[in-house]
Structure 1
């Protein structure tokens, strides 16, 4: 089973995911966690994301998708 929860920051995605994890026993991949990991590890994608975030901008989909692809390949 694959589920994707989309929504604006603060819309409750994380809360809903946590509730579903308990019931369905499925792994949780969070773009916020992926951003923080890549930024703290100073990866190339993390640096690009950090540049956007430090300017108060949203990280472009291309960067986010590439980070998620890398995470899913692990």
Structure 2
């Protein structure tokens, strides 16, 4: 229970500027990857194999970076 309280406190705390930039850049990176994927699916395009291989990483890694950066506090 103490860990959950600490996690909640960190989430609501002020994030340092450097980590705000990490959140911003990683969100843009994931958003662009998502937009490309949605455009390919909506256009009934055949996704290249390399895209299918890297797409989960283009979404997951920046999301993880943003979550960890959000948990930092001043």
User: By the TM > 0.5 criterion, same fold?
Assistant: no
TM-score category (smaller protein): 0.3 to 0.5
Q: Relative CO higher for 1 or 2, CA cutoff 8 Å, sep ≥ 6?
A: 2
TM-score computed with the length of structure 2 as normaliser: 0.37
Which structure has more helix as a fraction of its residues?
2
